[in-house]
Amino acid sequence: MQKQRVSGISRVCSPWRWMPVAGAFALALVSLANRPLVAQDQSGAGFVISAQATAKEVGLPLYPGAKPHKDEKNETPATQLGLWGGSFGFKLVVLKMESNDSPDKIAAFYKKALAKYGTVLNCTDPSKASSDKDKSSSAKQLDCGDDKPDAGGMLFKAGTKEKQHVVGIDPKGQVTVFQLLYIEARGSDEEKKAL
Residue 90 lies in a domain: yes
pLDDT at 59: 96
Question: Is 9 part of a structural domain of the chain?
Answer: no
Q: Does residue 114 sit within a domain?
A: yes
So what's the pLDDT on residue 114?
97
pLDDT exceeds 50 at position 122:
yes
Helices (H) and strands (E) in the chain, counts: 5, 9
On the 0-12 / 13-18 / 19+ scale of CB atoms within 10 A, 138 is exposed
What's the pLDDT score for residue 75? Answer: 76
Percent of the chain at pLDDT above 90? 41
Overall residue count recorded for the chain in this entry: 195
Confidence of residue 127 (pLDDT cuts 50, 70, 90): low
Asked if the structure places residue 8 within a domain, the reply is no
Confidence bin at 43 (pLDDT 50/70/90): low
Domain assignment of residue 124, given as a range = 14-194
- Confirm whether 7 is domain-assigned: no
Residue 37 lies in a domain: yes
Comparing 15-19, 62-66, 186-190, the range with the smallest average pLDDT is 15-19
Q: What is the mean pLDDT of residues 160-186?
A: 93
At residue 91's C-alpha, the angle toward residues 80 and 22, to 5°, is 75
**Is 1 inside any structural domain?**
no
Report the number of distinct structural domains present in the chain: 1
Q: Taking 90 as the threshold, does the pLDDT of residue 106 lie above it? A: yes
- Does residue 54 lie in a domain region? yes
